[in-house]
Amino acid sequence: MSIERARSLTTVAPWVALALLAVPGLGASSYLTYSHYADEATICAGVGSCELVQTSSYSTITGVPVALMGLLYFIAVAALAAARLLRIPWVVDWGTPVLFTMAIGGTAFVTYLTYIEIFVLEAICPWCVSVAVMTVISLCLAVWARAIEAREQP
Amino acid sequence: MTKRKSGERRRGSRSGRTGWLYAAGGGAALGVVGALILLAAVSRGDNEGNSGGEVFVPTPRPATVARNAQVFGDPAAPVSIIEYLDFQCPICRRAGEQILPPIEQEFIATGKARLEVRPIAILGDESSYAAQSAQCAEEQGKFWEFHDLLFGNQAGENKGAFSKDNLKRFASALGLDTAAFNSCLDSGKYANQVKQDTATALNSGVKGTPTILVNGVKVDNSLDAVRVAITSALNGGS
């Protein structure tokens, strides 16, 4: 394998990981959004208090479910990762700072929501926690992508 | 050659992108999230409890339908519907407003089914106070009126809507003997019962509210699902 090819693979590695991360992220946030709109009790697999968290007054902001915000986040992440892997020029140039900005916002928001779960509602929803963890991972991948980009800069 | 130039231009533009871009992006993102959290706090404040306003008293249920404590309908009806609910749970309120009224009309008023509600407290202290107050109202034969009134005055969770003071106002609005009601609620005589009912429900597999069982089998929280389950039970199913 040429050095050029190895470098190219390293450059796209965080984006491949991000595309893979988007799959469970979309799954979990879709389920939470569906159960919110369908008025169905969230399946908690016997762990945690999904119902409490999902029906609490913290589960919406001016009527918009936070679960839907999570879904939109992972749709954006998936679209950005796909565009970067397809080498769409604008995303090759600006994808990393855009991802970093989104991931900082996402991580700050899930930190707030997790704080509410633990200290205000005193209830944990495993689905929400998994979305929060995946959002934090997306920030780590953004930092990784940024580090690679910085290393490649002359 | 052209490709290489384009790549160099791109790399050049990237090299110009210093830390300030990331700092600005991160700062903007944090600002947006801060605004969202503020908006959430303001919008929750708008919805916070009925802590002194007018009490909404729902239309009374038809007196022609039999009732016995927490059971609405003929106790000998062939189909049993059991609903586990938390008075603070908004989905329970929607079930009470959208799913159960047609079921009461079609199956309960006609003697084909009976509905038993089992209030539990999974959403906090005010859920427990509300469940206790429904038992106190039942001492005066007004469980169902209080049940409907609680859902009609639901407003946020643990924000004062179902504080003891408010529950006493509800009892007064309903025309109950307030001295007896207040003494019942203040004594906490049903606190342990609510605690035990909640533990029993959770131990028996109830994972959230509302949980609706038709002849002991859990059904989805939709009018169609409940209707189909009752019809099937009447036709000899489970």
pLDDT (mean) for B100-112: 91
* pLDDT > 80? residue A100: yes
How large is the average pLDDT for residues B88-112? Answer: 89
Contact B11 A98 (CB under 8 A): no
B105, two tokens: 């009309």
Chains A, B: CB contacts under 8 A, how many? 93
Å from B113 to nearest chain A CA? 24
d(CA B33, CA A92): 26
Q: Tokens 């855009």 identify what position?
A: A98
Contacts of B209 in chain A (CB under 8 A): 41, 51
Query: How far is B108 from B114, CA to CA, in rounded Å?
Result: 6
Q: Hey, which of A73-77, A112-116, B104-108 has the most confident mean pLDDT?
A: A73-77
Predicted model pTM: 0.58
Flag if B94 and A39 touch (Cβ within 8 Å): yes
pLDDT at position B117: 94
Judging by beta carbons within 10 Å of its beta carbon (0-12, 13-18, 19+), is residue A65 exposed, middle or buried?
middle
- Judge whether A153 is closer than 8 Å to chain B, CB to CB: yes
Q: What is the ipTM of this complex?
A: 0.80
Residue A107 has pLDDT above 50, yes or no: yes
CB contact under 8 A, A41 and B209: yes
In tens, the pLDDT along A55-69 reads 676 888 887 889 999
Q: Which of residues 162-201 of B touch A (CB under 8 A)?
A: none
pLDDT at position B231: 94
- Chain A residues close to B44, C-beta within 8 Å: 57-58
Least confident of A99-108, A122-131, A136-145, B6-15: B6-15
pLDDT at position A52:
67
**Parallel, antiparallel, or unpaired: how do β-strands B71-72 and B79-85 relate?**
unpaired
Confidence band for B7, pLDDT divided at 50, 70 and 90: very low
- Measured between CB atoms, does A8 come within 8 Å of chain B? no
Per-residue pLDDT, B8: 42
pLDDT at B168: 94
CB contact under 8 A, A108 and B220: no
Share of chain B above pLDDT 90, in %: 54
Strand partners, B215: none
Secondary structure of chain A in the HEC alphabet? CCHHHHHHHHHHHHHHHHHHHHHHHHHHHHHHHHHHHCCCCCCCCCCCCHHHHHHCHHHEECCEEHHHHHHHHHHHHHHHHHHHHCCCHHHHHHHHHHHHHHHHHHHHHHHHHHHHHHHHHCCCCHHHHHHHHHHHHHHHHHHHHHHHHHHHCC
Whole-number percent of chain A with pLDDT over 70: 82
pLDDT band at B5 (very low <50, low <70, confident <90, very high): very low
Chain A stretch 119-148, residues whose beta carbon is closer than 8 A to a beta carbon of chain B: 146
Q: Is A61 at the interface with chain B, CB within 8 A? A: yes
A21-53, pLDDT tens digit by residue?
999 999 999 999 988 877 665 666 555 567 667
What pLDDT is recorded for position A133? 97
Q: Which residues pair with B84 in a beta bridge?
A: B118, B211
Highest mean pLDDT among A4-18, A125-139, B65-79: A125-139
- The answer to whether B221 contacts A152, with C-beta atoms less than 8 Å apart, is no
Given a cut of 70, is residue B46 above it in pLDDT?
A: no
Confidence label for B2 from pLDDT (cuts 50, 70 and 90): very low
Name the minimum distance, in Å, from the CA of B207 to any CA of chain A.
7
Residues of chain A contacting residue B159, judged by C-beta atoms under 8 Å apart:
57
More confident residue, A119 or B34: B34
Q: Which two tokens stand for residue A16?
A: 């491949």
